[in-house]
Amino acid sequence: MEESGIPRDEILSILKNAKSADTSYDRVLSSMCTYPHEIAVLAHTQFIEANMGDPGLFPGTYDLEKKVLKMFGSLLHHNNDPEECGYLTTGGTESNIQAIRSMVNYRRDIKKPNVVMPESAHFSFDKVADLSGIEIRKASLDHFLKVDLGLVRSLIDENTIGLVGIAGTTEFGQIDPIEQLSEIALEKNLFLHVDAAFGGFVLPFMDLDYHYDFEVEGVTSMTIDPHKMGLSTIPSGGLLFRETEYLNDLEIHTPYLSINKQYSLTGTRSGAAVASTYAVMKHLGREGYRQVIDQCMEQTEKIVEGAKALGIEPVIDPVMNVVALQVPDADNIRKRLLDEFGWHVSITRKPRALRLVIMPHINNSTIELFLNDLEKLI
């Protein structure tokens, strides 16, 4: 760091340059993030100094957090004082880490605990394993890329403390059989965490006959991320437990703050993200989100139809706005899409397919342009 500072204008020009090197979302089909809603940005900037790590100083923001938790509760069929059963995290990773940490703390009687989850679980669970030394057991998927229930059962032993199911897998947007996982969890007295980081802001706005949230009796905790399909700003995540006591398992004594306990993984925590999430959820309402999801699903269908017309099949019929396309030599096609046309797509691991996430920044003309370019490479 240099001794003397540089003027504001110069700083702004450096920032502008840096920003221009970043990718705009226009040709990004690989991300679960998007442009936040305008009202989310406005709220974020207004609460930029609010620290939820010391909420006694920010009772107004704290109150907004409770209101957001209540809205999460209503989306996820949680009727048991949701505002007392969770908090706003930095995102799916923190929520997943904390859900597992709560299980481990609750079952201190088990010395070498393990948790059973699908092979499709997000890599944040590998971080939990690395942090806590807990064993993560991964069950393979069935033909539809949902977790194989027989394999889940076979991995459970006397040291198993919980199960994880995914409502909207990162790679395929698939939903695990949460009701059946719940039956196993109830039968074996296990926790069941549902990772709806992505699906939490998609599934409630679709007419699907899936039961994946707190209305399923065995579900004990859920991850839901407003900074993905919720159109809030980064870092906005959500963690909700069925019971306050599971949140209490995360309690750490904080002797010199305005309150004497903390549940979050981070200390200092963004109040801006709280305000932003509150603002966009209140502003859009269910109706607004339904429109967003309808549009994303419409574009998803268009891309699948267009791909089929080129002789390319999806790995599974998309359940939500995530598509995996079976193209020959997917890695090479991905590279050429980027190098020759500037398209950012990603690749699924098993099978290796082109993965596209159809976020709200994708419109009709994006799809047409993309399919045109894909055709040139096939």
Q: Can you give the binding site for ligand 0PR, defined by CB under 6 A?
A: 31-33, 91-93, 96, 122, 124, 166, 168, 170, 195, 197-198, 225, 237
Q: Euclidean distance between the first and final Cα of the chain, in Å?
A: 51
Nearer CB in complex with ligand 0PR: 230/237:
237
Residue nearer to ligand 0PR on the CB measure, 28 or 58: 28
**Whose Cβ is closer to ligand 0PR: residue 97's or residue 303's?**
97
Closest CA to 325 of 339, 345, 344, 342: 345
Token digits for 168?
A: 């909207």
Half-sphere exposure of 281 (CA within 13 A, CB side): 26
Distance CA 292, CA 298 (A): 10
377 dihedral zone (left: phi>0; alpha: psi -120 to 50; beta)? alpha
User: How far apart are CB 123 and ligand 0PR at their closest, in Å?
Assistant: 7
Tell me whether residue 105 or residue 346 sits nearer to ligand 0PR (CB atom): 346
Q: Helix or strand or coil: residue 56? A: helix
Angstrom distance (rounded) from CA 105 to CA 252 = 12
Q: How far is the CB of 152 from ligand 0PR (least distance, A)?
A: 18
Choice between 54 and 168, CB closer to ligand 0PR:
168
Q: Are 326 and 353 in contact (CB under 8 A)?
A: yes
d(CA 240, CA 223): 7
Task: Quote the least distance from Cβ 99 to ligand 0PR, whole Å.
Answer: 11
* Coil/strand/helix, residue 53: coil
Residue 33 Cβ, how far from ligand 0PR at the closest point, in Å? 4
**Which is nearest to 143 in space by CA: 193, 177, 168, 180?**
177
Nearer to ligand 0PR, 93 or 277 (CB): 93
Q: What share of the chain is helix, strand, coil (3-state, %, to 5)?
A: 45, 15, 40
Give the nearest distance from C-beta 191 to ligand 0PR in angstroms.
Answer: 17
Name the packing angle between helices 38-46 and 271-309 (round to 10°).
160
Contact 32, 122 (CB under 8 A): no
In the complex, least distance from residue 195 CB atom to ligand 0PR, rounded to whole angstroms: 5
Minimal distance, residue 138 CB to ligand 0PR, in Å: 15
- Residue closer to ligand 0PR (CB basis): 305 or 331: 331
Q: For residues 1 and 21, which CB has a smaller minimum distance to ligand 0PR in the complex?
A: 21
> At 213, is the secondary structure helix, strand, or coil?
coil
Shortest CB 92 distance to ligand 0PR, Å: 3
